[in-house]
Amino acid sequence: MLTSTEVPMLLQRLHIHNGYRPLHQPRFYYYRSAFLLHNELINVWTHFLPIVLLAYYYVIPEIQSETPRFPALVLHFGTACLMAGSTIAHLLHSRSPLDHVFWFCVDFAGIGIWSLCIGLQRFSAEHDSGLLFDLLYLPSLLIFVIPIQFMTTTVFFVTRPHWKLRHLIRLLACLIMAIYLNAPLTRRFWTIPIETSPSLQMHSKSFQWLLVSGIFMGGNVPERWAPGIFDLVGYGHQLFHLCIIMVAWNLVDAAHLDCDLETASPFLPKNLATLIVLFIGIGVIFETIRRLMRIAKEKYQ
């Protein structure tokens, strides 16, 4: 493994001095590195294992049930995209600067799809939200997730990767998006005591874990306090992954309680609208990546 001085600046993590994989190796080397000790190993497994658990404990039982609930499956799809995008990005990004940009754009795409699916699941599962809300929420959800969260993250990552304000903008965009995703729950938070509603407690915990995750993502702690000590185990991004697992876990458990048989069918108007918005969002996300990679190839090839 290499030190931080032996890899390009783009591939360096702040305050992480050792454990970098060599560049320009055959692709199979990076797949095999899932079983080698390096500074991305824990990041790979902390998001791969949850995919297996999600499938075994949530997706398969939902599909095998007599009436699979469409809103719950939408959230499970988004959660799987988040975990899979992160897993593959941390596994393969070290091959070259161009690989680094591409795979982390895929990672950001997974985050964007997950965010979109959280909003869509909450929209589909809520009852009596009102006609005006139903008409306005889905178009505005696309605005909050795609331009505000996803595009600000990816565009600055590709065009201005070393800009100091980039991470602050990313954190603020994610916070704005997270607050907006709670809009479908507002009526319940106002009318139902949270101590009487297990699902609202889980939604609240997921938001709290998200706030905690921002400390590790934005603060680079604890490695900034002891550079070189947490190179392999315990640095901020690894702890961020653990917090995101808690966010996702609370969300899927809350969805299990919120999604009932009345909203199960994919042919309900709300669910059909949800599906259309999901396809539009995914299409915009991947078209954005395609265009940004043209810029990245000019910079890094």
**Residue positions forming the annotated binding site for Zn(2+):** 90, 237, 241
CA–CA distances in Å: residue 30 to residues 44, 82, 171 = 11, 20, 29
**Separation CA 36–CA 240 (nearest Å):** 21
What are 26's two structure tokens? 């055959």
- Please identify which residue in the block is written with the tokens 């916070």: 175
Whole-angstrom CA distances from 171 to 18, 160, 297 are 26, 16, 27
Identify whether the C-beta of residue 47 lies closer than 8 Å to the C-beta of residue 241: yes
Alpha-carbon distance of 100 to 97, in angstroms, equals 5
CA angle centred on 179, ends 177 and 184, rounded to 5° = 105
User: Left (φ > 0), alpha (ψ -120 to 50) or beta: where does 45 sit?
Assistant: alpha
- DSSP secondary structure letter of residue 3: E
C-alpha to C-alpha distance for 223 and 54, rounded to whole angstroms: 30
For 170, residues 6+ apart whose C-beta sits below 8 A from its C-beta are 152, 153, 156
CA pair distance 135, 117, nearest whole angstrom = 17
Dist CA 151 CA 170 (whole Å): 10
Output the known binding site.
Answer: 90, 237, 241
Which residues face 2 on adjacent strands? 20
In the chain, helix, strand, coil percent, each to 5?
Answer: 75, 0, 20
Q: 167 near 214, Cβ under 8 Å?
A: no
